[in-house]
Structure 1
Amino acid sequence: MLHLDDGFDLRPAALDDAALVASWMTRPHILPWWEQDWPESRWVEEISRLAAGEHTIPCMTVLDGVELAYVELYRVRYDRLAEYYVWQEHDWGMHLAIGDTSFVGRGLGRRLIRALADALFRADPLCDRVVAEPSVLNVPSVRAFEAAGFVRQAELELPEKRAHLLVRGREA
């Protein structure tokens, strides 16, 4: 378990997290953006696949002992996102889904996003930027990233969505 700023903890997702993640992905505030309302068995496969690779780290975040969110931290240079903007060698990206609805709409998203970005900067001294690419229609997510110090750099036409490229530099 890695202790983050602002009281959050981060740990690698385990196969026994698949049921919880699968249930979160069906929730109305997540489903339209992730479109991964897969059965638990598919999430077992996905977490296993991601954990076995070198590109993406599937994680769970915890606050005060409560499972809060599913997070994917990824190296942009190995991700398809690298095809859509001028990336730097040590850019990191993040995908985030706050699953526990009791935490939604309370400002915890921006706190968690900031804590995750700060942790990436500490973990990788060569990283100067952390990026995210939420849908332009996902206004709550865009607002949370901006409140966490991310700045809109571009609009990207990805295969599944029009997205804002949001970038946070070390100095934010």
Structure 2
Amino acid sequence: MRCEAAPKLHLDDGFDLRPATAADAGKIAWWMAQPHIQRWWQQDWSVERWAQALDAQAAGEHSIPCLAALEDEDFGYLELYRVRRDRLAEFYACAEHDWGVHVAIGDTARVGRGIGRRLLRSVADALLRADPRCDRVVAEPDVRNTPSIRAFAAAGFDPAGELQLPEKTALLMVRTRTVEA
């Protein structure tokens, strides 16, 4: 993973996280075409376009594309990124070492079962443990995406105000180091 200062993550609660590669493009493309994801991500791209996007992310210093697994079964796609290298930095007073997370639960059998909440808590805990300079992990779900906002809140993220991004009105959700795991 080339993303600057990418920490080695050890997830709790039975989750595994691995870098996504172009070989995962078919699975990710299928997930992104699912209505519960497509509405919010708007990235229901072809397998070829996903393969190119994953290769570009792996070669860059902006974000780390990952697959999440539980019980050795892939179920979700995540992007971890340094906020200061992302356009999100233009919309709130980010700290130099803030991490951001995007998450999509692709396996429809696992949607609505608390998996997202558990994964988000585990990822945030792991980022905060692995990077002592990081005091915040953030996300910016669409304000209309109630299930996502509930999952972030249940994972210990607090709302920190609305942000008007070019494509949506987002709710900045912030998980700090002071939250009990």
TM range (shorter): over 0.9
Counterpart of 1:56 in structure 2 is 63
Does 1:155 find its partner at 2:162? yes
Q: Please show how residues 1-172 of structure 1 align to structure 2 within 5 Å.
A: 3-172=10-179
Shift of 1:3: 4.2
Paired residue total:
172
**The residue matched to 2:35 in structure 1 has which SS?**
coil
Counterpart of 2:4 in structure 1 is none
Distance 2:9 2:20 in 1: 12
Amino acid at match of 1:95: H
**Could you tell me the TM-score, scaled by structure 2's length?**
0.93
**Could you tell me the TM-score, scaled by structure 1's length?**
0.98
Distance 1:31 1:53 in 2: 25
Distance 2:76 2:155 in 1: 16
The percentage of counterpart residues that share the same residue type is: 62
How big is the alpha-carbon RMSD for the aligned residues of Structure 1 and Structure 2?
Answer: 1.0
Q: Deviations over 1:4-53 (max 9, x none)?
A: 10000000001110000000001011001000000000000100111111
**Runs of 4+ in structure 1 over 2 Å off:** none
The answer to whether the 8 A contact 2:9-2:130 is kept is: no
Amino acid at match of 1:83: E
Distance 1:125 1:53 in 2: 23
Amino acid at match of 2:28: V
Amino acid at match of 2:129: R
**The residue matched to 1:11 in structure 2 has which SS?**
strand
Identify unmatched segments of 5+ residues in structure 1: none
**The residue matched to 2:57 in structure 1 has which SS?**
helix
